[in-house]
Structure 1
Amino acid sequence: MSNTAENLMLDWIDGVGTPTRPTTPLKVALVTANGDDATAGTEVTGGSYARQSLTVAAASGGATSNSADLVFSGMPACTVVGVEVWDSAGTPVRLWYGALTASRTVNAADDFKLSAGELDLALT
């Protein structure tokens, strides 16, 4: 989770203030360089790339995953190394980030797919 999401979660659980729920739908972004807790990664640009809406299954055991395939069509030539999850606010807020298990090289105009269940979100 990003620092922003961690703070929202802690404030909600601890009853501090009135944290605002992220604006939905949540959007998945692909990155060519990973970020960290405080800094976003380098998002893919070009081709027909666009962030995709995320739907998730109900959480169990402190984790959930995407409940539908995420397909990014018409990608530019690049190497995808990670993903980020953002809300849909006018000024989007990054909530989750993480590296792929293995980087994936994509050719121009190809599709990039994360199958249902492949994007895991967990509180540890």
Structure 2
Amino acid sequence: MADNLTDAAELLVLDWLNPGLAAPTRPTGPLKLRLMTANGGESAAGTEVTNAGGSTYAAQNVTLAAAASGATSNTALIAFANMPACTVVGVEIWDSAGSPVRLWHGALAASKIVNLGDTFEIPTGDLDLTMG
């Protein structure tokens, strides 16, 4: 997801870089990866996968490596078990605050059709986040 920070995340970064302002509140961990059936943009969330037919989809924790050269990626496999039948077109990363804050958004390189009961996986190192 190249340069796909949400408006909220961009403001956090800009406030952090400005020494004249109070330090912004860091996102509450763990970060959660959500799957989307319709992508959002910088200011509006997409449509998250919804359970149907006995599926148990739920947002999954994501751990990211330390940034290097303006980029980072996931440090472990991310697996969404027992998916509903749907087409996944993108992902979003949210924090775990009481009122969660959406931080990143992005389309998949290719949409993925999943059937009821399938597991959708993002292998280690395949969720790429870049700035610049």
* Length-normalised TM-score, structure 2: 0.92
Alignment of 1:84-95 (within 5 A): 84-95=92-103
Equivalent of residue 6 in structure 1, options 7, 10, 13: 10
Aligned equivalents of 1:106, 1:25: Cα separation in 2 = 26
Give secondary structure in 2 for the equivalent of 1:75.
coil
Deviation, structure 1 residue 123: 1.0
Aligned equivalents of 2:18, 2:71: Cα separation in 1 = 20
Match in the other structure for 1:41: 46
Q: Which consecutive unaligned segments of at least 5 residues does structure 1 have? A: none
Q: Percent identity?
A: 58
Equivalent of residue 96 in structure 1, options 101, 104, 110: 104
Equivalent of residue 71 in structure 1, options 76, 79, 82: 79
Report 1 or 2 for greater relative contact order, CA contacts < 8 Å, sequence distance ≥ 6: 2
Number of equivalenced pairs: 124
Deviation, structure 1 residue 12: 0.2
Q: Which consecutive unaligned segments of at least 5 residues does structure 2 have? A: none
Which residue type is aligned with residue 38 of structure 1? S
Alignment of 1:107-122 (within 5 A): 107-122=115-130
Aligned equivalents of 1:90, 1:53: Cα separation in 2 = 16
1:83-104 deviation digits (Å, cap 9, x = unpaired): 0000000110000000000000
Aligned equivalents of 2:49, 2:26: Cα separation in 1 = 27
* Length-normalised TM-score, structure 1: 0.98
